[in-house]
Amino acid sequence: MAIAKKIQQFMEKASWIRKMFEEGAALKKEYGERNVFDFSLGNPNLEPPDKFNDVFMRIAGEKIPGKHGYMSNAGYAETRDAIAEYLSEEHGKEIFGRHIIMTCGAGGALNVVLKTLLDQSDEVVIPLPYFVEYNFYVDNHNGTSRLVKTRDDFSLDLDEIESALSPQTKAVLINSPNNPTGRVYDEKSISGLAQILDKKSREFGKEIYLVSDEPYNKIVYDGVKVPSILSAYKNSILVTSYSKDLSIPGERLGFIAVNPEAAPLDQLLNGLIFCNRTLGFVNAPAFIQRVVQHLQGISVDIKIYQRKRDLLCTALREMGYSFIRPEGAFYLFPRTPLNDIEFVRELQQERILTVPGSGFGCPGFMRIAYCVEDWVIEGALPGFRKLADKYIA
């Protein structure tokens, strides 16, 4: 066999998202782009905000010595300082540029964090359902994923998490707003989780880190707010990117923010910077770092995603589909009226592309990414209705 056996096995289980995306490309080729309704990929359909374009063009035209050159492996100091200033206000906590490490997206950031933290067979506790790549990221760095159930409404089950913690636990990895459910873990849950981690850290005589993956933290609806893990728990690490709030996923820019109270702080920061280099990411993209320095707090018009959510939720609810209304992100995660893989295949016959919940560790559901043009939602409704009449009515 040309490739490692483990990689071959992983490829066989690999991302349903990409699989459905590729099958969608074949359907579009056969039936035409406007006749296929693709909800498979969380690729933002909104253009970046006007201010992004203005700053981009201004920076592109400026003569800046070393504009495209290497920088500190933690990123440009002025960009890190700008982010720290914004986070300090957002989280009500004094954060400085030294606590920020610029990364190649949130995926790169998570790999840097896990590489820094994990020894062989250390455990990472992850609530279900979870972003499909987490298992692979943990395995990349010789750790073990410990998956725990959430409640029926996808909120954190603190009893389940506490039961899963052991002397082998190095981190708890949460994702809020959640992909695939759109659930935002509320302040009471985060506070309760922090108390549990503090208690267990003392009991086991070691630090247990809370890592929060938050690329959707600006995409929230109905006045919902994402609680601050940096304010809730001292050994916390926030990971995020600009992919969703600025609609620039292809630019692969994100950052790690380390709680200034985390222990041992200097060792942790130095380890993260070292791993940012030695994993091969080396530096976050130089030019886009210079751009986002001037865009803290700027985002796309979230009301557009909320309108799409409402359009889809109203229609599917009327048809009889069962789901928890998303509080954030741009995903809907309904129950399927039969086996999720079978139902997703039936939807494909209607040229509707969704992703089975099995891919997120949660069979019996499907993920619908509604970051699409309105015509995709409207065009898919007859197909959703046809299968609802067949299996739900």
Give pLDDT, residue 221. Answer: 98
Q: How many residues does the chain have?
A: 393
pLDDT at 37 over 70: yes
Own/partner long-range contacts of 164-169 (Cβ < 8 Å, ≥24 apart): 164/125, 165/125, 165/196, 165/197, 165/200, 165/204, 165/208, 166/123, 166/204, 167/204, 167/206, 168/121, 168/122, 168/123, 168/144, 169/122, 169/123, 169/124, 169/125, 169/200, 169/204, 169/208
Give pLDDT, residue 354. Answer: 95
Contact 126, 169 (CB under 8 A): no
pLDDT at 319 over 90: yes
Tell me what the pLDDT averaged over the chain comes to: 94
Give pLDDT, residue 66. Answer: 86
Contact 272, 114 (CB under 8 A): no
pLDDT at 79 over 70: yes
Instruction: Identify which of 131, 110, 225, 246 has the alpha carbon closest to the alpha carbon of residue 178.
Output: 131
Give pLDDT, residue 234. Answer: 97
- Render pLDDT for 115-134 as a digit per residue (tens, 0 to 9): 999 999 899 999 999 998 99
The two tokens of residue 349 are 């016959």
- Render pLDDT for 225-248 as a digit per residue (tens, 0 to 9): 999 999 999 999 999 999 999 999
The fold for domain 50-292 equals Aspartate Aminotransferase; domain 2 (3.40.640)
CATH superfamily of 5-48+301-391: Aspartate Aminotransferase, domain 1 (3.90.1150.10)
* Domain ranges for the chain: 5-48+301-391, 50-292
